[in-house]
Amino acid sequence: MKRATVVLCGVFVSTPIWAQSSVTLYGAVDDGFTFTNNQGGSKNYQLSNGALGSSKWGILVNEDLGGGLHTVARLENGFDINSGELGNDGRLFGRQAYVGLGGGFGTLTLGRQYDLVADALMPMAATLKFAGTLATHAADVDNIWGDYPLSNVIKYNSPVIHGFKASGLFSLGGVAGAFSDNRTEAVSLGYSDSALAASAVFSRINNPATALYYASSIPQSGSTFSNPITNPTFSGYVSARTLQTAGAGLNYKLGGATIGAVYTNVRFEDVVPTSSTPFSGTASFNNYEINGTYLFTPALTVGVGYTYTKAETAKYNQINFGTEYQLSKRTGLYATAVWEHASGTDSTGKPATAALAFITPSSTPNQVAVRVGVRHVF
């Protein structure tokens, strides 16, 4: 700690002065109107929070400790603007809550944080670029949209060296006598320059029902299981002993255009048959996405994309469209439209129906959702 002598009203007072630090309050407020052609057999008109990203507020702390070392801390809350309720299963800082140190070695942080799958691949996907929640892969089965942060996380991000950056993540399960329960390991490698960005990631989560999806207890074979996931696209596999995700993505910029591609392989391994998850064995999802955006003016962006998902016993085709117009640096208007077609048998053993993320599933193989809204960041 540095000290300085300050003169105040003619009296010499010895006052401690800390190294330079900053505290930033930030957030986003996002709301829109959604029309869906079929939710459980009927049309629906509703207000939808967080179409391009959840409404949130947070505090970011950075303190220079000298010698190239600094402290970093973040507390981030998610909420529903239409009801005022907390997001992320009612957690006060359910999106992120961590503290750590950074320097020439990189950054090491401890606390509740996003999986590396979201860190590595979200910037390549249509969700972040132009279409938001509706454009997730098969109800966000691969968690690229970051719907489900992890608790008890140790995360390391290396410094950028010649365009390359490596990351590693380890989440402690915290179960006495069972070190592997709820444990997560993940690694990623990324590269970026002025035109090209590319990332690859691998993540493995033990007991995803409790470690990722907030179930009240680890599923047991033949027992009653309160399933936290209601979307039939993958709800029947949530009782898996292990969730493994591998993926890669890239973006290439050429003038005002950006072309992106993302691939993920998701494996629900050793699914435990329970009262609400009758499937037994291993179920996999292969998601293929291609997307493109064009910046017509500094204020107007238009994007379009296509996603094909090959699930264990079903197929999903999805077309995504989005446009955003910036009224200012902080406020934007947007419109998104998504069509999904399903075929085969879903994870619950029933005929597959279209079931976009966080929308009541259709009663048919097709579902169309159109959303217009406004987003303000601060």
Whether 106 is in a domain gets the answer: yes
Kind of pairing between the strands at 281-295 and 257-271: antiparallel
Give me the domain span that covers residue 164. 22-377
pLDDT tens digits along 322-357: 999 999 999 999 999 999 999 999 999 999 999 999
Range in 139-143, 155-159, 172-176, 372-376 with the lowest mean pLDDT? 172-176
Number of domains forming the structure of the chain: 1
Q: What is the Cα Rg of the chain in Å? A: 22
Whether 12 is in a domain gets the answer: no
> Which pLDDT does position 7 carry in this prediction?
34
> Which pLDDT does position 11 carry in this prediction?
37
Whether 4 is in a domain gets the answer: no
Whether 1 is in a domain gets the answer: no
CATH of the domain at 308: 2.40.160.10
Whether 2 is in a domain gets the answer: no
pLDDT over threshold 80, residue 1? no
Question: Residues near 90 by Cβ (< 8 Å), separated by ≥ 6?
Answer: none
Question: Residues near 364 by Cβ (< 8 Å), separated by ≥ 6?
Answer: 38, 353, 354
Q: Could you tell me the pLDDT band of residue 227, with boundaries at 50, 70 and 90?
A: very high
Which H helix or E strand runs over 117? helix 116-121
Q: Please tell me which residue, 216 or 260, carries the higher pLDDT value.
A: 260
> Which pLDDT does position 9 carry in this prediction?
38
Q: Could you tell me the pLDDT band of residue 177, with boundaries at 50, 70 and 90?
A: confident
HSE value, Cβ hemisphere, 13 Å, CA-based, for 217: 8
pLDDT over threshold 60, residue 13? no
Whether 263 is in a domain gets the answer: yes
**Structure tokens given for 333:** 């208007």
* Cβ atoms of residues 54 and 30 within 8 Å: yes
Helix locations, 154-276, DSSP H: 208-211
> Which pLDDT does position 234 carry in this prediction?
98
pLDDT over threshold 60, residue 8? no
User: Which of 134, 302, 124, 139 is CA-nearest to residue 198?
Assistant: 124
DSSP string over 265-317: EEEEEEEPP-SS----EEEEEEEEEEEEEEESSSSEEEEEEEEEEE-SSEEEE
pLDDT tens digits along 77-125: 999 999 999 999 899 999 999 999 999 999 999 999 999 999 999 999 9
**∠ Cα 370 376 378 (to 5°):** 150
pLDDT over threshold 90, residue 41? yes
- Residue with tokens 């070695």, as numbered in its chain: 105
Instruction: Compute the average pLDDT of residues 185-201.
Output: 98
CA distance 6 to 292: 58
Whether 13 is in a domain gets the answer: no
Instruction: Compute the average pLDDT of residues 11-33.
Output: 76
User: What's the pTM?
Assistant: 0.91
| Average pLDDT over the chain, rounded to an integer | 93
Whether 3 is in a domain gets the answer: no
> Which pLDDT does position 19 carry in this prediction?
62
pLDDT over threshold 50, residue 3? no
**Structure tokens given for 56:** 């949130």
> Which pLDDT does position 194 carry in this prediction?
94
Q: Please tell me which residue, 179 or 85, carries the higher pLDDT value.
A: 85
CA distance 319 to 108: 38
CA 77 to each of CA 57, 328, 342: distance values in angstroms, whole numbers, following the listed order: 5, 24, 34
Handedness of CA 83, 89, 91, 94 (dihedral sign): negative
* Cβ atoms of residues 375 and 331 within 8 Å: yes
> Which pLDDT does position 174 carry in this prediction?
79
**∠ Cα 337 42 233 (to 5°):** 65
